[in-house]
Amino acid sequence: MKNRIKLLVVGAGPHGSGFHMPALAHYRSRNPDRVGSVLVCDLDRDRAASAARKYGFEESASDVEEVIGDWRPDAAMVLTSVQATVEVGRRIIGAGIPVLLEKPPGETVGEAEELVVLSAQAAAPVMVSMNRRFDPVLRAAMARVNGRRCRYVRVTFARERRNEDRFLTETALHAVDAMRMLGGDIVPSSLRWLGHGGTSWRVATFKFAAGAMGCFEILPAAGARAERYEITGEGFRGIAKTCFYDDGELCWKELDSEPELQTYRASRPVWELDGTLGETCEFLDSCIAGRAPRPAPADVLDSVRIAHRLDATPECLG
């Protein structure tokens, strides 16, 4: 790909304009030789124009189809409402343009599977925005594990007032996907769970294909926001509290050593703390270097399947 790319951003809602756009503006200010003009497209034209103005992006529009044909972007980010992600994604993938698609990759498992097929046939790479994979604390925890075998990985995923129907498949999907990043693939037949007190409360146990035990605690209306990943192996244990929804700390203890505490939160912007900047770098750096950015739809598909299984029934004990 040529060096200064023209980038299309579709969707200027709260997540697009509050997280991806400032991260993109930051990336462009640091890499003026890589990103040229940026066009923001939203069905709501005023919203697109005001977001473009706010971040110094050159153009705005309201019709993706027209932009693809007339403006001819070199890469695109799709940050639309969930219902529109696959429809807009199909058009961009069909035009052979590298694309970053916000999670979830489709409303249903069928749509996520369709994206896997489309991306395998596509002329350009497709990446799914799963920002926990770029969370600075989880990244640091992975570096501490450093390829050693884990025995037990547990996530506590607590939120406030999140009793909406699609909490498991759209939001708790992050916990499932981050656990797969930390521990590898999950054995689907090992999954057992309890549900209680509302549609999305779940405590699930399972086995990773690599042998470790795992546990999801999904607590959507806990009255507290916490997102903690505990990683335990032979002679080591760490507690990672993610930056955006928790304290932004990694507490690490190795056998016969003092515990070490690293803090990440102070003085960093939210779009860096939640991993959006990291994934922006992965997407744009890979596109420019001609590499396929990760995670691809195929990397995330099993996370989507597990989140939908947990959603399908409140309890599964065997």
Ligand X SMILES: NC(=O)c1ccc[n+]([C@@H]2O[C@H](COP(=O)([O-])OP(=O)(O)OC[C@H]3O[C@@H](n4cnc5c(N)ncnc54)[C@H](O)[C@@H]3O)[C@@H](O)[C@H]2O)c1
Three-state secondary structure call for residue 154: strand
- Which one-letter DSSP state was computed for residue 187? -
Three-state secondary structure call for residue 199: coil
Element (H, E) at 170: none
Binding range to ligand X, per CB under 6 A, among 12-20, 138-146, 151-159, 212-220: 12-20
Q: Is 41 in the site for ligand X (CB under 6 A)?
A: yes
Beta strands 75-78 and 5-10, pairing class? parallel
Given a contact cutoff of 8 angstroms between Cβ atoms, the answer to whether 221 and 160 are in contact is yes
- Using CB under 6 A as the binding criterion, the count of chain residues that bind ligand X stands at 25
Q: Is 42 in the site for ligand X (CB under 6 A)?
A: yes
Binding range to ligand X, per CB under 6 A, among 38-46, 221-229, 245-253, 255-263: 38-46
Give Cα separations from 233 to 159, 257, 260 (angstroms): 28, 15, 16
Q: Is 203 in the site for ligand X (CB under 6 A)?
A: no
Nearer to ligand X, 72 or 192 (CB): 72
Work out which of 1, 84, 215, 298 binds ligand X, going by CB under 6 A. Answer: 84
String of contacts with ligand X for each residue 243-282, x by CB under 6 A: ----------------------------------------
Nearer to ligand X, 42 or 208 (CB): 42
Q: Is 142 in the site for ligand X (CB under 6 A)?
A: no
Given a contact cutoff of 8 angstroms between Cβ atoms, the answer to whether 264 and 134 are in contact is no
Least separation in angstroms between CB 3 and ligand X: 28
Residue with tokens 């999140």: 162
Q: Is 303 in the site for ligand X (CB under 6 A)?
A: no
Q: Is 93 in the site for ligand X (CB under 6 A)?
A: no
Burial of 90 (0-12, 13-18, 19+ CB in 10 A): middle
Give Cα separations from 148 to 37, 122, 143, 208 (angstroms): 44, 36, 10, 14
Q: Is 12 in the site for ligand X (CB under 6 A)?
A: yes
Question: Which tokens belong to 312?
Answer: 């399908």
Q: Which residues are at the interface with ligand X (CB under 6 A)?
A: 10-16, 41-44, 47, 64, 79-82, 84-85, 88, 102-103, 129, 131, 170
